Chain A
């Protein structure tokens, strides 16, 4: 009998523990795992792990490589749950691996219809895990629940119509027993929304339209039928404020991107931070970074939620470095603007007024002849994750200093086709600009340090209690910087473009760092630590 009990116990121990909502709520204090896109609901991409620190990070060695059978760009953040890594492979596949060795348990291959309608590559930025299920959004705009042990499909629900330009590229966010997912398609004249699905059944719980329809508040910020094709996509994973039960999420550009003639008005809730009641999907507050955007400067950044004092008073804050080049601090209870200042070169606004809205400079609208502006179309930052480190109290981000030529064109809407109203010169061949990693004092916007790169990075950053900041570049290097000074501590050429966010976790007490480069996941650790 004892033997039987022992067998049962052994079997139970061999099974990965389930990811519960409670575990997700406390993810920050479970740094051995990386169980949600940003590492925790706060959106910090920060880890309490300190085995790898400033003094030893230059000893990191390659542990394993997982090569994906794809030539598509890998933008995924892996998740690690009790020794199992779950990561999406583009376009919409998922693989589960032993995070110690990179050995594959299973792979889900999604059969995709043609044509697929993504603006900027058939990519995927990651999965979500709850219970014994793994959730992935697909480029044909379905949400799929997979069995975490086998990869078999538990349910598969259509979220939107791909033939109208919808796709899904972002990692879902689990809140309570729901899977929260956004959509992409801001270059196709979609009407954006954020959805919550029952994690067990796939049934839609609620939908929040980011472009309000007739009878809804702020519908008047659109003219005529322009709201039907108003964009406002939701393609980057948001954050969750458990104390207020608020989902905080960023929205994309209004459509068409570079010609606003058909959509006079502020075009709410495009280019906004939105805060939704997690149970109902009702809007609690919003803050629009750029009313009536004409430059495709989506607010699709990960909201960074910090509790700190503000002018001597305890305050729930949101830190947000927006694509247009300004860093913002918002009041998380009201959405009220508290502070904002540029974090990179910009030539479109004199500054921000008391409400946080931009005071526009003249002659900054796209024209048929072209208007040169900083930042460029891809923004002063973009979807890749920033990091907040409670040790240094600094906000870190990958930034760009470059410009584009913004042109205005005419375009009719037709379902499923690009609806952008322009031909911008995104990257000027004779003036490509550059980028780098920057540390900001979020209380003042001061640029504390700068790590310039020859090229413009599309990779996010991760900071740790070891005082280390990890990042990557289009040049193919992963690097580790001193989080306090920006001094380079270590770098390694991985031989492939890095357009993903790094993570860290432990295997048998040993700290690992993983990041996607080229079509592979690379994992590093210090030699000699416990195996």
Chain B
């Protein structure tokens, strides 16, 4: 009887160890489900389970942007699998109780959101020269060199498509991130101020003006307050030839992230 108990206990221990092993070691390193049908199935599950936080196309919302190709909590296939099945402790990301293929299909869909786009036409070296001669560096920064009024472009090719880059050069007003909206108002001394809204709450507003000076105001002290959802960047349509635009886009497209990620890149 005692032997039976010991045997049974050993069996239980082994079973528990096996179950543990299933949870921790049995995740394949690479996604075994990557067909087009898997991506489509993953899209379905994503839309019903993940989109409320991560956006319909993974563009982010309450949850992180999953389309940028960067992941804070591990970017290998098995990292993604683990984070989906188990959730991410310390965040609002819950675990999904599915496992196996259905999760791998979600991973496949997430991967499909960020496809390295095809190298655009144009000559990147010539584009770099256009960048320099057109004054882009007056406002933009690449790898630490340049101005800071506009977005840092050090890795812009990693998360913006060539089409987006071209649109930004020719029609800057088409898509203006909120942090580049321009607030204009008269301050308490009557001085007219224009600047980017860095932050705003019920009572105060923080801006960086177009001379790159930081200001924080009590809203109650401001007059003629307006927000312009337009870009401070001029359009280069007509200022650059089609070929120059193509070369410039080719250059910007080559700007890729280094291994160190900044929060800026993940927005």
Which residues of chain A have a CB within 8 Å of any CB of chain B?
70-73, 114-122, 163, 165, 409, 411, 414-418, 420-427, 452-455, 473, 475-477, 491
Contacts and interface: CB of A to CB of B under 8 A. Distances in A.
B72 interface: no
B48 A420 contact: yes
Nearest to B96: A417
Contacts of A73: 92
A121 B48 contact: no
Given A417-B49, A476-B201, 18 more contacts: A71-B90, A72-B92, A73-B92, A114-B95, A115-B85, A115-B86, A115-B94, A115-B95, A115-B96, A115-B97, A116-B87, A117-B95, A118-B94, A120-B92, A122-B94, A425-B56, A426-B62, A454-B202
A121 B201 contact: no
A316 to B, nearest CB: 38
Interface string B77-108: 00000000111001110111110000000000
In this complex, which of A115, A117, A411, A421 has the most chain B Cβ atoms within 10 angstroms of its Cβ?
A115
A421 B90 CA distance: 27
Interface string B14-34: 000000000000000000000
B97 A417 contact: yes
A454 B200 contact: yes
A496 to B, nearest CB: 13
20 contacts: A70-B90, A114-B95, A116-B87, A117-B94, A117-B97, A120-B92, A122-B94, A163-B97, A416-B97, A417-B49, A418-B48, A418-B96, A423-B48, A423-B56, A424-B52, A426-B62, A427-B61, A455-B202, A475-B202, A491-B203
Given A115-B87, A424-B52, A427-B62, A415 B203 contact: no
B47 interface: yes
B231 interface: no
B51 interface: yes
B155 to A, nearest CB: 23
Contact of B201 (A118, A421, A422, A455): A455
A473 B202 contact: yes
Contacts of B51: 423
Contacts of A165: 97
A453 B48 CA distance: 32
A411 B201 contact: no
A335 B221 CA distance: 50
A417 to B, nearest CB: 5
A116 B97 CA distance: 9
A415 B91 CA distance: 23
Nearest to B219: A454
A121 B200 CA distance: 26
A86 B201 CA distance: 32
In this complex, which of B48, B56, B95 has the most chain A Cβ atoms within 10 angstroms of its Cβ?
B48
Contacts of B92: 72-73, 120-122
In this complex, which of A454, A455, A473 has the most chain B Cβ atoms within 10 angstroms of its Cβ?
A454
A37 to B, nearest CB: 23
Given A426-B62, A454-B201, A421 B48 contact: yes
Contacts of A115: 85-87, 94-97
A473 B98 CA distance: 36
Contact of A72 (B62, B90, B96, B203): B90
A282 B54 CA distance: 42
A462 to B, nearest CB: 19
A423 B52 contact: yes
Contacts of A409: 47-48
Contacts of B200: 454
A473 B61 CA distance: 20
Contacts of B48: 409, 411, 418, 420-423
A415 B97 contact: yes
A116 B62 CA distance: 19
In this complex, which of B61, B94, B201 has the most chain A Cβ atoms within 10 angstroms of its Cβ?
B94
Given A409-B48, A473-B202, A417 B98 contact: yes
Nearest to B56: A423
Nearest to B91: A71
A477 B94 contact: no
Nearest to B98: A417
Contacts of B203: 477, 491
In this complex, which of A72, A122, A165, A424 has the most chain B Cβ atoms within 10 angstroms of its Cβ?
A122
Contacts of A70: 90
A119 B94 contact: yes
Contacts of A476: 201
Interface string B46-69: 011101100010000110000000
A72 B94 CA distance: 12
B202 A426 contact: no
B183 to A, nearest CB: 14
A163 B98 CA distance: 11
Nearest to A424: B52
In this complex, which of A71, A423, A426, A477 has the most chain B Cβ atoms within 10 angstroms of its Cβ?
A423
B82 to A, nearest CB: 10
A393 to B, nearest CB: 27
Contacts of B91: 71
Given A409-B47, A423-B52, A423-B56, A116 B94 contact: yes
Contact of A114 (B47, B52, B86, B98): B86
